[in-house]
Amino acid sequence: MRNVYHVARRELGAFFVSPIAYVVTAIYLAVTGGLFGFILYYSREATLRYVLMHGVSLLFLVLITQVLTMRLLAEEQRMGTLELLLTAPLRDWEVVLGKFLASLGVFLAMVLLTSTFVIVLLRVGEPDIGVMLSGYLGYILLGTSLLAIGVFASSLTQNQIVAAVVGMGITLILWISGALGEFVGGAMESIVTFLPIFDHYQDFARGIIDTRDILYYLSVTVLFLFMSVRVVEWRRWR
Amino acid sequence: MIQVQGLTKTYGDVLALDNVSFQVERGEIVGFLGPNGAGKTTTMRILTGYMPPSSGQVSIAGYDVFTDSLEVRRRIGYLPETVPLYTEMSVYGYLDFCAAVRGVRERDDAIVRVLEACDIADVEDVLIGKLSKGYRQRVGLAQALIHDPEVLVLDEPTIGLDPRQILGVRELIQSLAGERTVILSTHILPEVSQLCQRVLIINEGRIVAEDTPERLTNNLQSGMRVRLQVLNAPEDALAHLRALPAVTGASTSGRGVFDVSLDAPEDGQDPRTALASLAVTQQWGLIDMRTLSMSLEDIFLQLTTTEAVAAEELAEGEVA
């Protein structure tokens, strides 16, 4: 775990010396802040639910998670620094996990900054704290699995843009996969309709915490991180 | 220290290394000499645990690179051909990270030691992206030394440097060697003669020659080596051979097989004729005679044999 910490720490440092973290955070806060303002103004309801569930928010979440992760492994491959990591006494999973945790750290910091919305709501009305917390939990779980997808996409290529596009592609396929359920039918239907990545999030936003949904997001995260490790291993064998 | 046995590596259908075997003793500086694409980098990547071989055995300090990869990696300092630098980090920060992932306990002490050894203490706070190529190469070397490894693997450590920087890096490598075992690759002939005690010449994935730099250079300058096979060689055959004026050296591996080094042909007189007529007139029963060094010469033709050419290559590279 010490190695994971060292990899994550270096990666976090890299985030904050490059403009990426600042630009992404600034735009993220601007967009979600704008959305929050509009929705609050028109709905006059002290809730974050519409902000968190809004299509723009979700699309934006996909975008920022892929931008945060696209560099992680792709850049190491392009710059040849992956050779440094893979010839140091590090296990492949330690490299992947360290990088993932760094991106998770940046993401959590960004989400934490949106707590200003909560403060605003507390001042203008009486929001349901429970619903807000469960909404945040869902949002973070969703973001975590999207980051894992991004890490996986980044392991596949040495081009950051390609990594981002692939990551978004995987996410969008998971998004619309539910529609396939009607076509396959039978036992497959129950599997396919369980796949869509955003469906599991809706309950959280409504204040319902279902262990199946938590398990879903954790499984997606673990699965994609596991596949990233396998890709890194496979790169050695080529 | 390093044992390589029957190493083979294929990339898809391409055979990059073909049954390569060699050994390196503790404290030796061994040069890998060969043209680009000969398999030098592949060999080094396998030694350092970056990639597994398709077949064959490699052990370093008694650990197998495949089954005990982490143990091997703890003992090796590696400078890849593309120096693996994080350009957004300061020299100090980078070395601190390298020390951390290699499990160095007293990181500060280790960093101070390599900053000094590589003569980069004056740039410790500079961002790596702002450093010149010579400095970057030194930072790369510092990274390879941070955990005080027993084995140092350097892939083309002087490539892309200007002549003054090359001299500096070579001196550095020499001073670092000490107790360490060093393997370095290069395609510049004078580099091995300056640095190495032994040279392995590799071409098209095979080791084609192994010798001291002096003897290799001599062979290169003085024409050819001929292998002679005779049926009934007398006891004093070697002495007869050495008595010939064109012969610069002769050795035998027994059973009537002699390896003879000859001067380069002069004024149209091929020295091989003297060799052949000796064997025939003495009735040794000459059954085979062939030139050995031809393939080696072919390889040398592709090598960069002088510093001047190396400098030219560099200049061309900069223009391109």
pLDDT surpasses 70 at B219: no
Q: Are strands B29-33 and B181-186 parallel, antiparallel or unpaired?
A: parallel
| Residues of chain B found within 8 Å of residue A3, distances taken between Cβ atoms | 101
**What are the angstrom distances between the C-alpha of A182 and each of A174, A186, B274?**
15, 9, 91
Q: Where are the alpha helices (DSSP H) in B14-90?
A: 40-47, 69-75
pLDDT surpasses 90 at A73: yes
B236 and B180 co-located in one domain:
no
Task: Yes or no: say if A76 and A14 are a contact pair by the CB < 8 Å rule.
Answer: no
Distance CA B77, CA B113 (A): 15
C-beta atoms of B87 and A238 within 8 A: no
Pick the last residue of a domain from B215, B234, B253: B215
B92 and B229 co-located in one domain:
no
**Mean pLDDT of chain A, nearest integer:** 88
How sure is the predictor about B45, in pLDDT bands with cuts at 50, 70 and 90?
very high
Task: Determine what percent of chain A is predicted with pLDDT higher than 90.
Answer: 51
**Mean pLDDT of chain B, nearest integer:** 84
Task: Determine what percent of chain B is predicted with pLDDT higher than 70.
Answer: 87
Task: Yes or no: say if B52 and A236 are a contact pair by the CB < 8 Å rule.
Answer: yes
**Count of structural domains, chain B:** 2
| Residues of chain B found within 8 Å of residue A79, distances taken between Cβ atoms | 82, 84-87
| Residues of chain B found within 8 Å of residue A86, distances taken between Cβ atoms | 49-50
CATH number of the structural domain spanning residue B95: 3.40.50.300
B188 and B261 co-located in one domain:
no
Tokens linked to B134: 């010579």
Distance CA A188, CA A194 (A): 10
Pick the last residue of a domain from B191, B215, B239: B215
C-beta atoms of A6 and B97 within 8 A: yes
Residue B315: inside a domain:
no
Residue B272 belongs to domain spanning: 224-292
pTM equals 0.81
B237 and B161 co-located in one domain:
no
B176 and B73 co-located in one domain:
yes
| Residues of chain A found within 8 Å of residue B11, distances taken between Cβ atoms | 238
Nearest neighbour of B101 by CB, restricted to A6, A80, A238 = A6
B176 and B58 co-located in one domain:
yes
How sure is the predictor about B296, in pLDDT bands with cuts at 50, 70 and 90?
low
Pick the last residue of a domain from B160, B184, B215: B215
Q: Residue A40 carries which side chain, given as an amino acid letter?
A: L
- Which of B42, B63, B71, B86 to probe by mutation at the A interface, max A CB count within 10 Å? B86
Rg (CA), chain B: 23
Region A35-58: what's the mean pLDDT?
A: 83
Residue B251: inside a domain:
yes
| φ, ψ of residue B14 in degrees (nearest 5) | -85, 130
B253 and B202 co-located in one domain:
no
| Residues of chain B found within 8 Å of residue A77, distances taken between Cβ atoms | none
B191 and B259 co-located in one domain:
no
- Which of A4, A84, A97, A99 to probe by mutation at the B interface, max B CB count within 10 Å? A84
Residue B138: inside a domain:
yes
Distance CA A15, CA A37 (A): 29
C-beta atoms of B86 and A10 within 8 A: yes
Residue A179 is predicted with a pLDDT of 67
pLDDT surpasses 60 at B293: no
Residue B173: inside a domain:
yes
pLDDT surpasses 60 at A18: yes
- Asked if A22 is an interface residue toward chain B (Cβ–Cβ < 8 A), one would say no
How sure is the predictor about B305, in pLDDT bands with cuts at 50, 70 and 90?
low
Residue B320 is predicted with a pLDDT of 44
Residue B268 is predicted with a pLDDT of 61
Residue B297: inside a domain:
no
B132 and B259 co-located in one domain:
no
Region B34-48: what's the mean pLDDT?
A: 88
- Asked if B136 is an interface residue toward chain A (Cβ–Cβ < 8 A), one would say no
Task: Yes or no: say if B144 and B78 are a contact pair by the CB < 8 Å rule.
Answer: yes
Residue of A nearest to B69 (CA): A89
Nearest neighbour of A3 by CB, restricted to B48, B98, B101 = B101
Interface pTM (ipTM) of the complex?
A: 0.87
- Asked if A6 is an interface residue toward chain B (Cβ–Cβ < 8 A), one would say yes
Region B60-75: what's the mean pLDDT?
A: 91
B190 and B245 co-located in one domain:
no
CATH number of the structural domain spanning residue B266: 3.30.70.920
Summarised one tens digit per residue, pLDDT across range B234-288 is 888 888 888 888 787 888 877 888 888 777 666 667 778 888 888 888 888 889 8
pLDDT surpasses 70 at B300: no
Residue B73: inside a domain:
yes
B77 and B130 co-located in one domain:
yes
Residue A191 is predicted with a pLDDT of 67
B75 and B200 co-located in one domain:
yes
Summarised one tens digit per residue, pLDDT across range B97-156 is 999 999 999 999 999 999 988 889 999 999 999 999 889 999 999 999 999 999 999 998
Nearest neighbour of B88 by CB, restricted to A18, A236, A237 = A18
C-beta atoms of A81 and B51 within 8 A: no
